[in-house]
Amino acid sequence: MTRTKYLYILLVLAMFLWGSSWPTSKILSAYADTSVITFWRFFFVLLGSLMVLGFLRIPLRLEKSILKWVLIAGILNGLYTFVFFIAIKHG
């Protein structure tokens, strides 16, 4: 298989997974509390990210000047996810 075909297959898979996150979030929000779903979502994202970094042998180094922005982005992303699940549950 050529590299281009492989990339197209990965793109289609990514689009499928991204599109399926909305209906699965709606179903999941009926069975669990919003804070529990948010916790487990970020827990599995952390595990997956660390596995990918380890597989690709990318060191996880953050400069102190960037750490503030990473923290702000993390808080805002967590808040977005929490509000997203609240909206999905009631909408």
Residue with tokens 């399926």: 20
- Calpha distance 44→49 (Å, rounded): 8
Q: Which pLDDT tens digit goes with each residue over 43-84?
A: 999 999 999 999 999 998 888 899 999 999 999 999 999 999
Q: Where are the domains of the chain?
A: 21-90
Structure tokens at 10: 């990965």
Question: Using alpha carbons only, how large is the chain's radius of gyration in Å?
Answer: 17
Query: Is the model's pTM score more than 0.85?
Result: no
